[in-house]
Chain A
Amino acid sequence: QSVLTQPPSASGTPGQRVTISCSGSSSNIGSNYVYWYQQLPGTAPKLLIYSNNQRPSGVPDRFSGSKSGTSASLAISGLRSEDEADYYCAAWDDSLSGWVFGGGTKLTVL
């Protein structure tokens, strides 16, 4: 059971916009930044969004993040086949003194 809650799966057709939610609590999302990671099959996770809504250089602006209270979301617009991957949200948890992750969302591009 993950500390952060994500839907296990999401899907969309090419060109569509999809969103992935991430729910936490006051000790993690509510008081710290949210990060999103993309894990393509067979590879290491890659930082996609940091500090709630910032994109590292090289990440397309089709990816965006937002946070409100103890929840966050990742939006992917103009969906492409290469976006098919697992997506994880994460935040530092002040009560646990450690990082907490969501269980991951498997995105399928139909």
Chain B
Amino acid sequence: EVQLVESGGGLVQPGGSLRLSCAASGFTFSSYEMNWVRQAPGKGLEWISYISRSGSTMYYADSVKGRFTISRDNAKNSLYLQMNSLRAEDTAVYYCARGSGLGYWGQGTLVTVSS
């Protein structure tokens, strides 16, 4: 069974940093592209980052470019999102999603940016 489990969310002050993790199981992690998608409270879905199977190619939404960094460790079946210079508008549930069609999603982890 495909499982994606996000962790690392929490309350952080504006300007602070947080590192999210997504633990994958039930499939060959290194064979899939991965993405991070977020959803602000009561709002729609917003894609924020993509990483290729090898980790050599990354893309970012303009809203997070220069502040967030996506990475992966295929040996550990894990995806990461390093978030720096956090702003109030980054408050959201962050989901990791598998593949070129976002075919599987984790349950999400809530990030709250507030003083």
Contact = CB atoms under 8 A, between A and B. Distances in A.
A24 interface: no
A47 B44 contact: no
Interface on chain B toward A: helix, strand, loop, or mixed SS? Answer: strand
Contact of B102 (A2, A90, A103): A90
Interface in A52-110: 56, 86, 88, 90, 92, 96-104
Contact of A102 (B44, B60, B105, B108): B44
Nearest to A43: B107
Interface on chain A toward B: helix, strand, loop, or mixed SS? Answer: strand
A98 B61 contact: yes
B101 A98 contact: no
B101 A33 contact: yes
A88 B101 contact: no
Interface size class of B (residues with CB under 8 A): 20 to 34
A35 B101 contact: yes
Contacts of B108: 44
A41 to B, nearest CB: 12
B107 A101 contact: no
Interface of B: 35, 37, 44-47, 50, 59-61, 95, 100-108
